[in-house]
Amino acid sequence: MTGRLQILCALGALLIASAVPGLQGSARANDFPIADKVVVEKSKRKLHLLKGGVSIRSFDIALGIRPVGDKEKEGDFKTPEGNYLLDAKNPDSEYFLAIHVSYPNSYDLAEARKKGVDPGGAIMIHGQPNDPTRSEAYYRTQDWTNGCIAVSNSDMIDIWLMTAENTPIEIRP
Looking at the fold, whether 140 and 55 belong to one and the same domain comes out as: yes
Per-residue pLDDT band at 29 (split at 50, 70, 90): low
* Number of domains comprising the chain: 2
Query: Cα-atom radius of gyration of the chain, to the nearest Å?
Result: 17
Residues 110 and 142 in one domain: yes
Residue pair 89/165 in contact (Cβ under 8 Å)? The answer is yes
**Overall average pLDDT of the 66-71 stretch:** 95
Query: Tell me, what CATH number does 113's domain have?
Result: 2.40.440.10
Angle between helices 153-162 and 3-19 (to 10 degrees): 50
Residue span of the structural domain in which 13 resides: 1-30
Look at residues 152, 82, 78, 144 and name the one whose alpha carbon lies nearest to residue 110.
82
**Nearest by Cα to 98 from 62, 131, 132, 122:** 122
Task: Give mean pLDDT, residues 122-147.
Answer: 95
Question: Would you state the pLDDT for residue 150?
Answer: 98
What's the chain's length in residues?
173
pLDDT at 32: 83
Given this model, what pLDDT does residue 31 score? 74
- Summarised one tens digit per residue, pLDDT across range 86-105 is 999 999 999 999 999 999 99
- How far from 129 is each of 23, 39, 43, 95, CA to CA, in Å? 33, 23, 23, 4
State the Cα–Cα distance between residues 62 and 77, nearest whole angstrom: 12
115 and 153 in a single domain? The answer is yes
Looking at the structure, do residues 54 and 10 belong to the same domain, yes or no?
A: no
